[in-house]
Structure 1
Amino acid sequence: MLKKKLILGIGITGMSCIEFFNEKNIPYKIFDTRNKNHFDNYNFKNINNKNLFFEKYDDNILRDVDEVIISPGLDKKHKIFSEINRLEIKIITDIDIFKRYYKGKIISVTGTNGKTTVVSMLEHALLEIGYKPIACGNNGVPPLSIINESYDYIILELSSYQLEYMSDLQSYISIITNIDYDHMERHNSIANYVMIKSRIYNDSRFKLAADSTIYLLDNIHDLKSYGLSSSGEVIIRNNTVKSITYDGFNIFYKKMKLKNKGKHNLNNILCVISVLDIIKVDIDSAFRSLDNYSYLPHRIELIDTPDKINWYNDSKSTNCASTKAALEYLNENIILILGGSRKDMQYGSLSSLINNKVKLLVFIGENKEYIKAQLKTNIKMIDAESIESAVKISQSHSKENDNILLSPASPSFDMFENYEKRGAAFVSAVQDVVK
């Protein structure tokens, strides 16, 4: 009997697997831990009901299965994982399947923060230069959905959840933008997290990492770095580049000030230029390709308002490292809105920046007390019951030229479906109070 694939989890990834298997006539089963009613609007016409399983584990789920395709973020504590391990069934990802059929050049990007921006910037730059790239993966575009198209470069954004089960990628270029304390509830230790992230380099032709991350990756051979040297000089692929300079806030190319500011933007730009250097794009062309790049929303995004207060939407901040970057980017007189759903995080690491730059802390979300217990600060704290309340409190304590920053350092799932909806609610609330 022909063995089947088991699609574990019906989200964007799972649906792309279903469509691909239907196209290739590959037999499969489906299991999702949610109730069947959740999928009333889904079309499962090409699969027999006996191969469709929901909510509860059934021994028939794994019968005649040779590979399990896992969706990112599925709870590893579910009973099915112990059964998969007991039966020694191989766990793979949709990207493993993609690699079996796609033989073009892949640029793979991972990192605790910055990966989505780098992927977006790189796609933009390559398009401007004249290549045909596409960004896919963790950004919401499943690789299997674009496998029948022809591209010069596939730019693949990868999370640690995907890398955990992935086989060798054999990427043309692999990048780690940074590594910081995150996802410990999943990976248990920073050492394990680093090990999983570094799998992106397996069988890669070119390997890149931010200079600030190199010390965690000393076992990776032929790794080139980008960033700032200890003396403050700009580094691209281990080489000093005199034409790019940084004064601690502003970025200059040939002494011309760029519109992009801050160390996080410098690192993103240097990462993209490092990739373009590998594919033989000269540095002038590389900078020109980024001239009209528009940054993604919810990332230290200045909201256009008629008042004289600076409102920043940094809803994408789901960990301390991204909130650190936001605090470093802004001047003093910050009113910081913190909090969200609970996640194992070292919030004490924010204390120094908060003491130096923040005038008021406004807390939202279920992890208020968890954060407060770790912070070493005497800065005034106020609790808010909603994002709207947080905005009103922040406005009432602000004065001209203050910076009001939503940078939660927490996931959004206690109050919102995702960080985008949290950010949109913040922007809407700001527009309501300043009109």
Structure 2
Amino acid sequence: MKTFLRKYNRFLLTQSPQRNLVYGFFMYNLIGFLLLCLPFARKSDLSIIDALFASTSAISTTGLLTLSMSDDFTFFGQLVIMLLFQIGGIGYMTFTTYILLNTSRRASQWRERILSAAFSIPDTLKLRPFLKSVIIYTVLFEIIGTIFFFIGFADEDWGFWERLWNSLFHSVSAFCTAGFSLFNSGFTDYVSDGWINFTISFLAIAGSLGFIVFTDFWLKLTKKGHRVSFTSKLIMSGFLILLTAGTTTLYFAEPEIISLDGAPRFYAAFFQSMSAMTTVGFNTIDFGGFILPTAMVTILLMYIGASPSGTSGGLKITTFVATVAYLRSKLKNSVEVMFFNRQIPDERVSVAVSTFIFYFMLSFAGIFLLTFSETISLEMISFEVLSALGTVGLSMGITGSLTMFGKIVIICLMFIGRLGVLTFGLAISKTYIDNGHVIEEDIAV
């Protein structure tokens, strides 16, 4: 075993950062799969494909499941899944590199390259304080979330330990935007519960806006003269605009939400928009009953996603904004790509446009393949594919009825979505992007 690990580590050192990310997530996925196959991890018979589906969904922080968390998995199985989406949420190398940085002067260049590829760290942020903020940020918000959930679940007929486990599990799931729930009906029973709606939204937004924004604004408050990065400005403005547009559309257009009265109507409109955009994947309304226009709005929000270097999936706001800015510059016949009166570097524009195109191609390929194997509407297939590739976890109720081929397609999309489509593309090529040089106005995509 030692000889194998030594050879494997030597092999990794010869690979690009993007390939290292693929191998790393694949190994954690494999370990999770093997643990879920153990007899004491499950309450009922579990097929190989369903175990692999659950493991991939967890490590990719997607939340799509072909089984029931409460009916089919034991406490041990639930714990394995929670650890997988915790690792998937903050990145599999974060803890080890953080420990290394606290026991030595610096991380190896190999680890720095991989973490730069994983987090898309802009040049204005340094690795050591950034990783420290990731750990503190994660632990702090998950503890706060556990306390909030524990208070919110006070009326449930549970014992202390069951209530604590439900609170911890859903706190980690919400912050990591994993979308896993121990309730078979998700959070549909809590559509009118303002405290639970707030707790999930608070954690999901904190996780999806993520580590770059948090570090940036924390340094702004604590370090005199620190300038908020261009990336953070794009993320915050884009997030607020899209979330407001989505909430308004669902509030006035979706019959299931219009049927609610008073505050629950706003809760439902906001929560579903927030869930799609942060890719947290929880729902308080059944998406299977959505009309086509509001389903398309939800698909668009899932497609765009939230922030790079956060726990969310999707295309990412900065990628979307950079692509739109590029299109606008071409329509104006302008050489420079501008946004907020700032020039977006050509290197970042190229990455954004490439990601946009590749994301579209993978989405189309997934939809195309599922139309062969599944006898369901194109709307439901599109929703499922964009949810898987964006690591969202929302579904119109078809996940459990997918054919084996359909499950394999969704597994591949979830895995690629967690890595990032461009990271995956670079991993299967022989090159990678070198972010080592200084760019005057840097953004992460």
TM-score by length of 2: 0.28
Q: Kindly indicate whether structure 1 or structure 2 has the higher relative contact order, using CA contacts under 8 Å at least 6 residues apart.
A: 2
Structure with more of its chain in strand, by fraction: 1
Larger of the two Rg values belongs to structure: 1
The TM-score normalised by the length of structure 1 is 0.29
